[in-house]
Amino acid sequence: MSIVLNFKSYLAELFARALREVAPEQVGAIVLIERPKQAAHGDYACNLAMQLAKPLRKSPRDIAQALIAALPESDVIEKVEIAGAGFINVFITKTAKQAIVHTVLHAGAGYGHLHLGAGCKVQVEFVSANPTGPLHVGHGRGAAVGDCLCNVLHAAGWEVTREFYYNDAGAQIENLMRSVQLRCQGVTPDDPRWPEGGYRGDYIAEVANAYMAQETVESDDQHVVGKGDIFDTEAIRHFAVAYLRREQDLDLRAFNVEFDVFALESALYSSGKVEEAVQGLIASGHTYEQDGALWLRTTDFGDDKDRVMRKADGGYTYFVPDVAYHLDKWRRGFVRVINEQGADHHSTITRVRAGLQALDAGIPQGWPDYVLHQMVTVLKNGEEVKISKRAGSYVTLRDLIDEVGCDATRYFLAARHPDSQLVFDIDLAKSKCNDNPVYYIQYAHARISTVLELWGGEHLSLLQANVGLLDSEYETALLQQLIDYPQIIELAAEDLAPHLVAFYLKDLAAAFHSYYNASRFLVEDEAIKCARLALITAAAQVMRNGLALLGVSAPDKM
């Protein structure tokens, strides 16, 4: 029996070989293998004959017959049928499906790992919050989606670098400095002297108190001491940024998110990279002077209007350092870059890409990729929660973690398509019922652990189980879920859609719970018992693998 780790890839290769025989001039055609919605239509379907009808000028059914005849022999395929106008439906043998149990048990934590990325480098930038306050729930969604995406890409065979970009320069940092300075002077946000753009949360008072107490801020890349001088604006600015960067790092660690690289906007200026990028754009001939400002002709690259690069006062607009930063990413060897950001960054995509194209640095069109997430609405007791006691104007990531725990927070924030609005129901996330998907999945894993503990046998003995005995409808359904896992990883990686893993885990848990409710595992028949225990052990392994991609734990007891 052939060992198949990914049935879709396996069948795609078989059809590709058949295509080379039937129509060698069409070898570039995409071989798409899908799961039919109805079981009667087979386990997998291929529409290759439909694709080839026009270029070959033949009936799709005739092409389908030729492809089927040319398919290499396989002990995995039970039968192949032509349906409708020319769809090819493939039925997998029961033996091949049952063999997935041993495949999972042998692969363990490596089951579902693919070679799509072929070890190529990809950099994922996410969170990238301004160091002006605690991380809010929107940053939390970016952290969950970005971190899960990194995990999925790693599982798909990419060499992933996680990067956080700090905007530690500009007007917002000036407002932060001024807010802390006023707090140091005893001025509160309700005072008429408080600036309109000032930060009002209680955390500003915490920063001011730490600065005046000459506290030391220690982190991986900084050592900053508060001077206590209320007139030294540069010292206040430096301390406030360092203090809030450390606070954000602590929030991220509580969220089990770590980064490989931290990049600072200020470093782009101090190293001359911003000025170098500006001079490169000027030399490219895509800039012009007007009304005392320097403009980039972004309309040359699909923008609806040209954009100011350098304002009349000499300051650069915010997309200019972004261009310099992404040029630096390219020079660091990242031929693939993915930015996970809030939907409010949508308008910057065209400008950054236009700037990179204008530089004529060999960067391909459409680089980098973007994943944008929508806003999060937090509900408690059926009502929207809008503010945090500490932040004053928004719900912080730490609020959610403290309220519902890291597991539920990560799952809920990553479990929807990033482009969809997300309602985070705190009461649901805390509930211990089947409506709570985190509880539902983790409970499935805990149930399996309990059964295996009651059994008390050696797990290695399950590798010898006669999986041919697994033929009930519940066992067949669970086997198919195990088969589908690598294909979910492949799709999630290709579509940059880690939420598909969350959807899959719910379906896997549902298949197990149905099996659990309909079956007994610790039966007297030793062969049947071993086969069933092997199946649920494999299911638990896949649950652990999938939950690990989401950064969620797989408890043995609940």
Average pLDDT in the 543-556 region?
A: 98
What pLDDT was estimated at residue 3?
Answer: 79
Residue 389 has pLDDT above 80, yes or no: no
What pLDDT was estimated at residue 103?
Answer: 96
Mean pLDDT of the chain: 95
What pLDDT was estimated at residue 38?
Answer: 85
- Which of 2-6, 84-88, 127-131, 178-182 bottoms out in mean pLDDT, i.e. has the lowest? 2-6
On whether the 7-92 domain is CATH 3.30.1360.70, my answer is yes
Average pLDDT in the 284-304 region?
A: 95
What pLDDT was estimated at residue 403?
Answer: 96
Burial of 528 (0-12, 13-18, 19+ CB in 10 A): middle
Residue 476 has pLDDT above 70, yes or no: yes
Of residues 37 and 187, the one with the higher pLDDT is 187
What pLDDT was estimated at residue 1?
Answer: 66
Residue corresponding to tokens 């065209």: 350
What pLDDT was estimated at residue 220?
Answer: 65
Cis amide leading into 368 (omega within 30): yes
What pLDDT was estimated at residue 319?
Answer: 93
Instruction: Express each pLDDT in 336-387 by its tens digit.
Output: 999 999 998 888 999 999 999 999 999 999 999 999 999 999 999 999 999 8
Residue ranges of domains in the chain: 7-92, 171-258, 434-550
What pLDDT was estimated at residue 393?
Answer: 86
Return the structure tokens found at 357: 């194209």
On whether the 434-550 domain is CATH 3.50.50.60, my answer is no
- How many CA atoms within 13 Å lie on the side-chain side of 225? 2
CB 440 within 8 A of CB 407: no
Question: Which residues make Cβ contacts (< 8 Å) with residue 411, sequence separation at least 6?
Answer: 437, 438, 502, 550, 552
CB 549 within 8 A of CB 501: yes
Instruction: Express each pLDDT in 110-146 by its tens digit.
Output: 999 999 999 999 999 999 999 999 999 999 999 999 9
pLDDT band, very low/low/confident/very high, at 249 (cuts 50, 70, 90): very high
pLDDT band, very low/low/confident/very high, at 237 (cuts 50, 70, 90): very high
What pLDDT was estimated at residue 546?
Answer: 98
Instruction: Convert 375-387 into a string of H (helix), E (strand) and C (coil).
Output: CEEEEECCEEECC
Rounded CA-CA distance 235/217 in Å is: 13
In 167-275 the beta strands, taken as DSSP E runs, fall at 216-219, 222-225, 261-264
- How many CA atoms within 13 Å lie on the side-chain side of 83? 17
Rounded CA-CA distance 531/535 in Å is: 6
CB 251 within 8 A of CB 133: no
Residue corresponding to tokens 């690289």: 261
231 three-state secondary structure: coil
pTM for this entry? 0.94
Sign for the pseudo-dihedral over CA of 545, 547, 548, 550:
positive
Instruction: Express each pLDDT in 501-529 by its tens digit.
Output: 999 999 999 999 999 999 999 999 999 99
pLDDT band, very low/low/confident/very high, at 391 (cuts 50, 70, 90): confident
Kind of pairing, strands 159-166 and 121-125? parallel
